[in-house]
Amino acid sequence: MQHETTNPAKSLNDSWLTTKLLAQAEPAFTEAAIRNQVFNAADRQSSKGKISGNGLAPHIRHVGAKVLINHGGFLSWIAGGAK
């Protein structure tokens, strides 16, 4: 009997990183810059009306107080002309 073990390589699309780990993986972005992009990711209301988000929202997940960002999604957002 042949036992086949699989060690699937984790693709970038499967990697969910904290802002700190994403800043380490992508040194062009500081942790503060990434947090700013997360803050501005979704549409929001202000006293002057609607402020459009930057488009990063689909790549962000909130798990309790922790914020996770999909690494591959972040890179594709950058490649697509991040706002």
Q: Which percentage of the chain shows pLDDT scores above 70?
A: 82
The answer on pLDDT for 69 being more than 90 is: yes
Residues 6+ apart with CB under 8 A from 38: 19, 56, 60, 67, 69
The answer on pLDDT for 35 being more than 90 is: yes
For residue 14, what pLDDT is reported? 78
Domain with 52 in it? 14-79
Strands (E), the chain: 16-17, 44-46, 49-51, 60-63, 66-70
Grade residue 8 by pLDDT with cuts at 50, 70 and 90: low
The total number of structural domains that make up the chain:
1
Grade residue 81 by pLDDT with cuts at 50, 70 and 90: confident
74 φ, ψ to 5°? -65, -45
Q: Is residue 9 part of a domain?
A: no
- Tokens (6 digits) for 83: 């706002």
Q: Is residue 6 part of a domain?
A: no
Q: Is residue 69 part of a domain?
A: yes
